[in-house]
Structure 1
Amino acid sequence: MLARQLWLNIGFTLLIVQVVYNTRASANIFRETFFESFPEDDYERSDFPEVKVQEDQNSPERNLRTSNEEPTCPPPFFQVMFECFYIHVHHHLTWWQARDFCRDMGGDLAEPSHPSALIAVVMQKHGTGPYHFWLGASDLKQQGNFTWLSGNPVDSGWRPGQPDNEGGVEDCLELWPSKYPSYCDKNCYSPCAFICQYLE
């Protein structure tokens, strides 16, 4: 019985060896036959032109990425759209004091290009108060002519009936984010929270 089992194992092993040998032999015959039809010297590397991928400098996608580069807002400033702001609620200062505070931070009182976006953030962060914030505009240079610190006119965003220069002493612009529109004039000496904008 043991001898019979031994012979069966030997026979099975020889069968496997034969199958492997035949498979390798067939593969070698195929490889030799196939590559004989493509002589090694028939094709040189120079016969195939080198393909170079060039960036299209004027592609819309590239321009879109370039035009939408996001600013780097140093702490404690944060980004709103493509501008950097800081909302200060811990001290209520006059308009001039608030401006000095912002300038010490490398900015100035805010002149938002997208006031609605800034209002949304203010309401999200400080929806329960304070309710008034100094921005960077006044009519101190010319009564009744409100301009931003950049010199641009404040030609929109006023609440109905504003600016009204109540009592003849309201020369600075405040943001009233819980109302829309949100701009009002206010006495520059009134203590108020404020919003700074980072200047690059």
Structure 2
Amino acid sequence: MAPTIITILGLSAVVIVSSQPPPCPHGWISRGSSCYVFISDTPEDWMTAMSYCNVLHAKLVEIESVTEDEFLRIHLADSKATGGYWIGLSDILVEGDWVWTSTQSNPTYSNWNPGQPDNVHHHQDCAQLYGPYGFHWDDGSCNDANNFICEKAIDDETDVIG
């Protein structure tokens, strides 16, 4: 598309129009290089929550820093959230070897509540931000129906006309 030329009172200017889409889809929250959506109206088991995020072209949130963790915990506390929120961390494949599902890598940052993970009854293989623990990390049964948080990268697409 050609630049738009505007002439006012004999002065010409070339106008370049930048089409900047919103950083995140409607209903999502922008933070750093990611968009987040907090799903609390349809609690799901961990696998279904992961699939739900995939349909949104996202993943269960993978918390990579204290800053990201604090952002999520503060948002949950400010919104008066309760219960657990699934995150994308699991030891389903090898007990005690916690990995992020999208990369199968071990976390470089963690914020487990003291005494966690504890694998109560040998059935707690999925991680959650757990309200009763101040949204510190807890291991839970993957079959429990919990709220969850999806995360995706902010699309950085700008159309420059001209």
Instruction: With the length of structure 2 as denominator, give the TM-score of the two structures.
Output: 0.72
Distance 2:144 2:131 in 1: 18
Aligned to 1:65: none
Q: Do the aligned partners of 1:88 and 1:194 also contact (CA within 8 Å) in 2? A: yes
Q: Do the aligned partners of 1:119 and 1:177 also contact (CA within 8 Å) in 2? A: no
Distance 1:123 1:81 in 2: 20
Structure number with higher helix proportion: 1
Aligned to 2:106: 153
Q: Do the aligned partners of 2:119 and 2:139 also contact (CA within 8 Å) in 1? A: yes
Q: Do the aligned partners of 1:80 and 1:118 also contact (CA within 8 Å) in 2? A: no
Is 1:102 the equivalent of 2:56? no
- 1:7-46 map, 5 Å: none
Aligned to 1:73: 24
Give the alignment partner of residue 112 of structure 1, picking from 32, 47, 63: 63
| RMSD of aligned Cα (Å) | 1.9
Q: How many residues were matched structurally?
A: 128
When residues 177 and 83 of structure 1 are mapped into structure 2, their CA distance, relative to the original with a 3 A threshold, is farther
Aligned to 1:179: 133
C-alpha displacement of 1:131: 2.2
Is 1:168 the equivalent of 2:122? yes
C-alpha displacement of 1:177: 4.4
Identity among equivalent positions (%) equals 25
Runs ≥4 residues deviating over 4 A? none
- Structure number with greater Rg is 1
When residues 167 and 183 of structure 1 are mapped into structure 2, their CA distance, relative to the original with a 3 A threshold, is same
Aligned to 2:90: 138
Instruction: With the length of structure 1 as denominator, give the TM-score of the two structures.
Output: 0.59
Is 1:124 the equivalent of 2:68? no
Return 5+ residue gaps in structure 2 as ranges: 1-21, 156-162
Aligned to 1:86: 37
Larger relative contact order (CA 8 Å, sep ≥ 6): 2
